[in-house]
Amino acid sequence: MSDVKKFLYVNRKAPHGTIYAWESLEVVLIGAAFEQDVALAFVDDGVFQLVKGWDTGELGVKNFQPSFTALGDYDVQKVYVEREALEERGLTEGDLIEMTYEDEDDDWAEKSSIRIVSREEMAAIMADSDVILSF
């Protein structure tokens, strides 16, 4: 369909301290109803959004991390995480939550949505997108 655009949600900020990450997720959840080609990107401090084991109790803020793991149910199948951003923060893929989707072209096999990409590859993904919503 020609009216399907490639939406890329770019997450650049730490999950807490400001509301950008949380309200970004709200856009992704609403946007899922529009049947566009959706991908998420995590760069800079945005990679902390996917680090597992959040405990927001003492912040007095709702823990919205479970919504990330539910994104597969919203047909979000592409989650790009920048390798350099992880390395610069002493993180590896093993520190991240699991995000999965069911592949309809492969007998609904459960597959990981997370793809670790280089900074150069991330630039190409951005260039290839039609609409970038950057948070």
Partner 1 sequence: MKLGIVVYEGPYQHEASDTAYNFAVAALQKGHEIFRVFFYHDGVNNGTRLTTPPQDDRHIQQRWSELAEKHGLDLVVCVAAAQRRGIVDEDEKNRHGKDADNIAPGFRISGLGQLIEAGIQCDRLVTFGD
Interface ranges with partner 1 (CB under 8 A): 3, 5, 7, 18-20, 23, 26-27, 30-31, 33-34, 36, 130-134
Q: Which is nearer to partner 1, 6 or 111 (CB)?
A: 6
Q: Which is nearer to partner 1, 41 or 96 (CB)?
A: 41
Q: Which is nearer to partner 1, 25 or 114 (CB)?
A: 25
Minimum gap (Å) between residue 127 Cβ and partner 1: 14
Task: For residue 91, give Cα distances in angstroms to 5, 44, 75.
Answer: 32, 12, 27
Minimum gap (Å) between residue 34 Cβ and partner 1: 5
Minimum gap (Å) between residue 97 Cβ and partner 1: 24
- Output DSSP code: residue 98: P
Task: For residue 29, give Cα distances in angstroms to 23, 67, 102.
Answer: 10, 9, 17
Q: What residues are paired with 109 via a beta bridge?
A: 103
CA 79 to CA 91: how far, in whole Å?
17
